[in-house]
């Protein structure tokens, strides 16, 4: 089975722009975002206060030791390329140290830009599926509109009604999922009841799903926290918004999984046998 079912090779945007490039960012996730002492973070930090591990060159001083030093949450986070967009485009390469007067505005814009970039990730993927060709005009229009929103001035970005924008895009992504999964089910001879047995937001925390056949399954928003998915077949499963924290996906097959993100993989436990879509990477800590 191909990594993308009926995939159109002509991607409308470069996916590299939707991946974090820390070399081109002003360490925004290390400054703008708050965190609390927990299993994920070794200390409390207020929003807008630089992490003490952030160096003068905006790089992390303990990057290679984050998990060992108690900052597991940092290794899970992914900004979908919003960091470099805000740093270089929205604020024209002027960092919060050079222009402290604009720092708070930059910190407010960053999480909004991340949401926009996450939507671009999903829309770009949706446009790659030939089986959703009937929706391509609407999907491309939604993508183009979202791209334009990312180019707005900082104060205009703060005025965006993101909820309304999400509500316009979510039905398109759901329709895409239904079309793609239906085609996958037809190709793989998967019964309808097998791919629709879970509802959106299904509570599968700690579920014993080792070796489960979850091909073309509806797992949108599913709570898969600490679920045992070792060796499970998740090809063509819709995973948008699914919570993979501490899910064991060692040996699982996620090739062709719909709307899977790097952040979800970062939160899971995998290994060299875990099969992934080509646009995603095995987190470094999987080999630890």
At 176 the pLDDT is 98
Query: Per residue in 232-280, pLDDT tens?
Result: 999 999 999 999 999 999 999 999 999 999 999 999 999 999 999 998 9
Residues 6 or more apart whose CB falls under 8 angstroms from that of 18 comprise 80, 81, 117, 120, 121, 124
Q: Is the pLDDT of residue 200 over 50?
A: yes
- Provide the mean pLDDT of the chain: 92
Structure token pair of residue 142: 């939604």
Q: Which helix (H) or strand (E) holds 170?
A: helix 162-188
Q: What is the pLDDT of residues 151-171, one digit of tens each?
A: 999 999 999 999 999 999 999
Residue 15's pLDDT band (boundaries 50, 70, 90)? confident
183-189 average pLDDT score: 89
Using the predicted structure, report yes or no on whether residue 26 has a pLDDT greater than 70.
yes
Residue 106: how many CB atoms within 10 A of its CB? 22
Mean pLDDT of 121-125: 97
pLDDT of residue 165: 97
The pLDDT > 70 percentage for the chain reads 93
Provide mean pLDDT across the span 89-98: 95
Per-residue pLDDT tens over the stretch 253-263? 999 999 999 99
Model-level pTM greater than 0.75?
yes
E strands, 17-153, are none
> How many Cβ atoms from other residues are within 10 Å of residue 144's Cβ?
13
Distance of CA 131 to the CA centre of its chain: 23
Structure tokens at 232: 């499970």
Nearest to residue 251, comparing CAs of 263, 268, 267, 237? Answer: 268
Q: Which residues touch 150 (CB under 8 Å, ≥6 apart)?
A: 85, 89, 113, 116, 117, 120
> 155: how many CB neighbours lie within 10 A of its CB?
10
CA separation, residue 4 to residues 7, 28, 97, 259 (Å): 5, 33, 43, 11
Phi, psi of 213 (to 5 degrees): -90, 100
What lies within 8 Å, CB to CB, of 85 at 6+ separation is 17, 113, 117, 150
Domains in the chain (CATH in brackets) are 192-288 (2.160.20.80)
Using the CB atoms, write b or e for 171-208: b if 16+ within 10 Å: ebbebbbebbbbbbbeebebeeeebeebeeebebeebe
Looking at residue 110, its pLDDT comes to 98
Collapsed DSSP state (helix, strand, coil) of residue 104: helix
């Amino acid at each position: 089975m191909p990594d993308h079912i009926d995939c159109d090779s002509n991607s409308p945007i470069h996916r590299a722009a939707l991946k974090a490039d820390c070399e081109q960012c002003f360490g925004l996730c290390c400054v703008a975002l708050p965190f609390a002492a927990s299993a994920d973070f070794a200390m409390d930090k207020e929003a807008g206060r630089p992490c003490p591990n952030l160096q003068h060159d905006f790089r992390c001083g303990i990057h290679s030791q984050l998990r060992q030093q108690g900052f597991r949450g940092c290794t899970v986070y992914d900004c979908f390329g919003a960091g470099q967009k805000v740093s270089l485009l929205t604020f024209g390469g002027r960092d919060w140290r050079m222009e402290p007067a604009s720092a708070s505005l930059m910190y407010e814009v960053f999480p909004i830009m991340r949401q926009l970039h996450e939507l671009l990730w999903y829309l770009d993927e949706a446009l790659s599926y030939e089986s959703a060709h009937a929706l391509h005009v609407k999907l491309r229009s939604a993508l183009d509109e979202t791209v334009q929103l990312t180019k707005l001035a900082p104060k205009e970005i703060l005025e965006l009604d993101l909820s309304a924008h999400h509500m316009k895009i979510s039905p398109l992504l759901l329709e895409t999922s239904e079309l793609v999964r239906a085609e996958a089910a037809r190709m793989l001879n998967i019964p309808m009841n097998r791919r629709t047995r879970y509802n959106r937001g299904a509570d599968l925390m700690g579920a014993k799903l080792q070796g489960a056949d979850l091909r073309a399954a509806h797992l949108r928003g599913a709570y898969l926290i600490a679920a045992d998915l070792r060796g499970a077949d998740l090809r063509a499963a819709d995973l948008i918004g699914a919570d993979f924290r501490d899910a064991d996906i060692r040996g699982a097959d996620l090739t062709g999984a719909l709307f899977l993100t790097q952040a979800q993989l970062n939160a899971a436990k995998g290994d060299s046998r875990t099969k992934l879509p080509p646009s995603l990477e095995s987190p470094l800590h999987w080999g630890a």
